[in-house]
């Protein structure tokens, strides 16, 4: 094998587009469009990621052509320096000043081999080390950084063999990734189907004008007649002595992770002084907490007495309503309930509207039977989903491992 060299040693040049006046509209296939940085990622070239350019006939050098090896000189820390090999001519797509074409000496390097090499850990370490910019959300690399990327090149024929083998292996990995992704989606779809089945196809929480026909043996009742509606409150943040005590306080920062669960305690806690000096109330075990602003529609159950922020509607259920049944009903109706939220900055369902919610339900014993069956079914579905997700995460790591294996041998 040859000694380490740099990318600049195998380039005949680097060609850039220019900064164009564009609209903010994505260009359709037949429209002239300048590439966004998102057109060059770790997957295939994305010609759909281009902004419309009006009234400009580009220089032929700026058009995207089959065989172009493109590198992004500006993007996030993870994506700056991403490289793709274009599969065909795209006469309606033009390079921007942030998308560079690497002109490769065909006598020294194979473009596919270079693409994989530039995705390897050695190249990525170099790019991320020398990328500039005050924020990780937008980093930049100049041509001097690009040309100094270290490479190790075997003879050209071996480059071509390695590239062909990697292409086949990565194609198989991509096929496996798509299959695993489908399994995750199927598991999510199964959970949605379980909710629909448990509530016999009815959206069980709704406003009076949206009530569907109740299944046999079920009836619609005003939720406020079945449970006491309570809001929450936030003790003053200017009083640190009111925080860090022994009273759990549920907030939006935790509700996503607690969705659909019994909550024993929270990370954020207040104390007796915080409760006494605010409108916050300690609510009993079994209270159903529904996030009504910003992160609308997440639901949890209090396993111990605690308080919540004002971002929640809290229902303390009466004897005729199983708290878990209400939680699952609200989760089943999540999409429809989120559509009720209004507001320019943060979408909110306001308390008067929450007070008018109606619930479709059977008798209490049937509610309990539905809860137990649904809980077991959801647990099985979640187990399947987690297994599929573990498999998917493992597959996502395979490309990096293949590159590390290959370029660990090219020394």
397 bridge partner residues: none
Residues 134, 245, single domain; the answer is: no
Residue 194 lies in a domain: no
Phi, psi of 261 (to 5 degrees): -120, 160
Per-residue pLDDT reduced to its tens digit, 56-97: 777 888 899 999 999 999 998 888 999 999 999 999 999 988
Task: Please report, rounded to a whole number, the percentage of residues in the chain having pLDDT higher than 90.
Answer: 79
355 located within any domain: yes
**Per-residue pLDDT at 77:** 87
pLDDT one-digit tens code per residue, 243-276: 999 999 999 999 999 999 999 999 999 999 999 9
Q: How many domains does the chain have?
A: 2
Q: How far apart are the first and last CA of the chain?
A: 6
Residue-level pLDDT at 2? 46
DSSP annotation of 216 reads T
Classify residue 179: in a domain, yes or no. no
Question: Are residues 289 and 147 located together in one domain of the fold?
Answer: no
What single-letter DSSP state applies at residue 357? -
Mark whether 281 and 356 lie in a shared domain: yes
Share of the chain above pLDDT 70, in %: 98
pLDDT per position as a tens digit, 336-390: 999 999 987 889 999 999 999 999 999 999 999 999 999 999 999 999 999 999 9
Residue 154 structure tokens: 């075997």
Q: 271 lies in which domain range?
A: 205-376
pLDDT (tens digit per residue) in 302-318:
999 999 999 999 999 99
Kindly give, in sequence order, each residue whose CB lies less than 8 Å from that of residue 168, ignoring residues fewer than 6 positions away: none
Same domain, 315 and 253: yes
Residue 389 lies in a domain: no
Confidence at residue 3, expressed as pLDDT on a 0 to 100 scale = 53
190, part of any domain: no
pLDDT score recorded for residue 411: 40
- Sheet of 63-64: strand order equals 22-26, 50-53, 33-35, 90-94, 63-64
pLDDT at residue 1 tops 70: no
User: What distance in Å separates the CA atoms of residue 99 and residue 96, rounded to the nearest whole number?
Assistant: 5
The whole-number pLDDT of residue 127 equals 93
pLDDT of 410 > 70? The answer is no
Asked whether residue 146 falls in the same domain as residue 53, the answer is: yes
DSSP secondary structure of 164-179: HHHHHHHHHHHHHHHH
Whether 133 and 219 share a structural domain: no
- Is residue 125 assigned to a domain? yes
**Is residue 103 included in any domain, yes or no?**
yes
What are the residues facing 96 on neighbouring strands? 18
SS3 call for 153: coil
DSSP state of 284: P
When the pLDDT of each residue in the chain is averaged and rounded to a whole number, the result is 92
One domain, residues 350 and 219: yes
* 137 lies in the same domain as 253: no
DSSP symbols for 45-109? --TTSEEEE-S----GGGEE-TT-EEEESEE-TTTTT-EEE--S-EEEEE-BTTEEEEEE-TTT-
Domain of residue 241, CATH code: 3.90.220.20
DSSP state of 30: T
């Amino acid at each position: 094998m040859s000694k380490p060299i740099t990318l600049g040693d195998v380039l005949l040049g680097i060609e850039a587009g220019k900064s164009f006046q564009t609209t903010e509209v994505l260009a359709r296939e037949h429209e002239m469009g300048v590439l966004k940085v998102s057109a060059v990622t770790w997957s295939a070239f994305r010609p759909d990621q281009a902004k419309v350019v009006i009234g400009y006939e580009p220089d032929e050098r700026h058009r995207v052509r089959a065989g172009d090896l493109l590198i992004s000189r500006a993007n996030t820390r993870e994506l700056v320096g991403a490289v793709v090999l274009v599969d065909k001519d795209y006469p309606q797509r033009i390079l921007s000043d942030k998308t560079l074409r690497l002109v490769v000496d065909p006598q020294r390097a194979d473009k596919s081999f270079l693409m994989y090499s530039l995705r390897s850990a050695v190249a990525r370490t170099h790019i991320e080390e020398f990328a500039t910019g005050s924020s990780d959300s937008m980093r930049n690399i100049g041509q001097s950084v690009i040309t100094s990327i270290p490479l190790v090149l075997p003879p050209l024929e071996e480059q071509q063999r390695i590239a062909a083998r990697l292409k086949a292996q990565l194609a198989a990995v991509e096929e496996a990734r798509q299959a695993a992704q489908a399994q995750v989606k199927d598991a999510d779809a199964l959970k949605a189907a379980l909710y629909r089945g448990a509530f016999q196809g009815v959206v069980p929480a709704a406003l009076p004008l949206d009530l569907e026909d109740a299944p046999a043996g079920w009836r619609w009742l005003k939720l406020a007649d079945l449970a006491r509606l309570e809001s929450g409150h936030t003790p003053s943040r200017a009083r640190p002595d009111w925080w860090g005590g022994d009273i759990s306080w549920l907030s939006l920062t935790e509700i996503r992770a607690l969705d659909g669960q019994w909550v024993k305690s929270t990370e954020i806690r207040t104390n007796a002084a915080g409760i006494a000096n605010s409108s916050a109330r300690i609510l009993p075990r079994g209270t159903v907490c529904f996030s009504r602003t910003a992160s609308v529609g997440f639901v949890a159950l209090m396993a111990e007495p605690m308080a919540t922020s004002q971002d929640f509607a809290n229902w303390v259920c009466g004897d005729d309503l199983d708290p878990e049944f209400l939680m699952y009903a609200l989760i089943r109706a999540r999409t429809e309930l989120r559509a009720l939220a209004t507001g320019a900055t943060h979408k909110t369902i306001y308390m008067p509207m929450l007070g008018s919610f109606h619930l479709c339900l059977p008798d209490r014993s049937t509610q309990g039977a539905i809860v137990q069956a649904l809980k077991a079914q959801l647990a099985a579905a979640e187990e399947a989903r987690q297994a599929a997700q573990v498999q998917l995460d493992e597959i996502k790591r395979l490309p990096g491992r293949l590159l590390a294996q290959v370029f660990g041998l090219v020394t």
